[in-house]
Amino acid sequence: MAPERIREALFFKKLDGDVICCLCHQNCRIRPDKRGICGVRENRSGKLMTLVYGSLVAANVDPIEKKPFYHFLPGSLAYSIATVGCNFRCLHCQNADISQLPRETGQIPGEFMSPESVIEEACALGCQSIAYTYSEPTVFFEYAFDVATLAHEAGLKNVFVSNGYMSREAAEKIIPLLDGINIDLKGDDQFYRKVCGAKLEPVEQNIDLFCKSGVHVEVTTLLIPGLNDSEAVLAELAAFLAGVSKDMPWHISAFYPMYKMRDIPRTGVESIYRGIAAGHDAGLKYVYAGNLSGESGNTICPKCKESLIERSGYRVSKNSVIDGHCSKCNTPLYGVWS
C-alpha cells in the first residue's frame, strides 16, 4: 500500500488503546490493528488512519443525470471518482465489487491520483462538477474534502451521491464545499436494519440538515419487491420528504437482482408507478421514474404543467428553463441551473 494513501483520519477519539471513529453513525470502536465496518479506516498505534487517500478505483466522465441529478446543471458532465469501501452492508449493492471489497477480502486496490490531478482532468474534459460516487464518499472523506476545496477554487461544483449516514460533525464540515447531494432513502427502519446494517433516523436527520443548510438535495429510493415497495412504506417515505421540502426531487428506481439478492425478481412497473403516486399524493412537486423510459423522466412545471426538460435516458433533448424559472408561466423552479 503506497504511503501517500495512508494518512491520519479526521473525526476520532481515543479510548483505552482503541479508537472510536466518529465519521459516521456506525461509531465503530476499533481495536489496535483492526479496521472499522467500512474496511478502510484502521487503528494504528492509537491513531485512526485512512487507507484510501487518493486511491481511486474509478475516475470517469458521466452525465450529471446518471447520479441521478435532474435539477442540477441539466445536461452537464461530472467527473466521477471513487475509492473502495462503504459503511453499509447492503445485500443488494450494485457496486459490491468495490464497496464491500475491503471488508470481505482486506484488499484496498486503486491508483493514486492527487487532488490537483483530479481538478486538472475534470477541467480538461469539460466537466462542470466533481461527483463523489459509486461507493460511499463518506469513507474517503479526507480526500473528498481536499478535492472539493480545490474544485471550488477552480470554479467547479461538488456533488455527493451518498447513503446519508455521515455524522453531524462530518456533515457540517463538508457543507460549505458541497453544492449538491443525492441521498438514498432506502426504506423504513426495518429495511435499514435487515438489508443495510444501519438505521433510518440518521439518514432522515441528514436529509433535513443538508436541505436546511442550503445544499441542493435530491433523493433516490430503489424499490425491491416485497421489501420496501408497499403502499404503506412508500407513503411513509413520501410524507417524510414532503415534510422537509415539497420541492425536493424524488427518484424512484427499479431493482435488478444483484449481489446477495439475486433470488429476488426485478421491480415491476406497477411498483414504480405506486411510488410516483405516493410522492404526488404527499404533495411532492418533482417525482421521477429513475430508470424507466418515457415521460416519467421529464421535468414538468408544477404550476402550469409545461414540459420544461425532456430526457431520453441520460440525454437531455430539451431544456426550456430560463434563469431557474418556467419559460411559460415564470414559476421559480427548485434547482441549480447555472
- Tell me if the bond preceding 68 is cis, omega within 30° of 0: yes
**Long-range CB contacts for residues 39-45, cutoff 8 Å, separation at least 24:** 39/84, 39/85, 39/100, 39/101, 39/102, 39/103, 39/104, 39/106, 39/108, 40/83, 40/84, 40/85, 40/102, 40/108, 40/139, 40/140, 41/9, 41/139, 43/18, 43/19
Contact 67, 76 (CB under 8 A): no
What are the residues whose beta carbons fall under 8 Å from the beta carbon of 50, sequence distance 6 or more? Answer: 6, 7, 8, 9, 40, 41, 140, 141, 142, 143
Per-residue pLDDT of the chain (338 residues), as tens digits, is: 666 899 999 999 999 999 999 999 999 999 999 999 999 999 999 999 999 999 999 999 999 999 999 999 999 999 999 999 999 999 999 999 999 999 999 999 999 999 999 999 999 999 999 999 999 999 999 999 999 999 999 999 999 999 999 999 999 999 999 999 999 999 999 999 999 999 999 999 999 999 999 999 999 999 999 999 999 999 999 999 999 999 999 999 999 999 999 999 999 999 999 999 999 999 999 999 977 766 579 999 999 999 999 999 899 999 999 999 999 999 999 999 99
Q: What is the pLDDT of residues 96-110, one digit of tens each?
A: 999 999 999 999 999
Where is 67: in which H helix or E strand? none
Secondary structure of residue 153 in the 3-state scheme: helix
Which amino acid is located at 195 in the chain? V
The packing angle between helices 231-244 and 200-212, to 10°, is 30
Contact 272, 229 (CB under 8 A): no
CATH class entry, domain 55-298: alpha beta
Q: Sketch the domain layout of the chain as residue ranges.
A: 3-50, 55-298, 299-329
Tell me the C-alpha to C-alpha distance, in Å, between residue 124 and each of 72, 79, 92, 154, 180. Answer: 21, 10, 35, 12, 22
Buried b or exposed e, range 234-249, using 16+ CB within 10 angstroms = bbbbbebbbebbebbb
CA distance 313 to 36: 38
CA distance 214 to 197: 29
Q: What is the pLDDT of residues 152-183, one digit of tens each?
A: 999 999 999 999 999 999 999 999 999 999 99
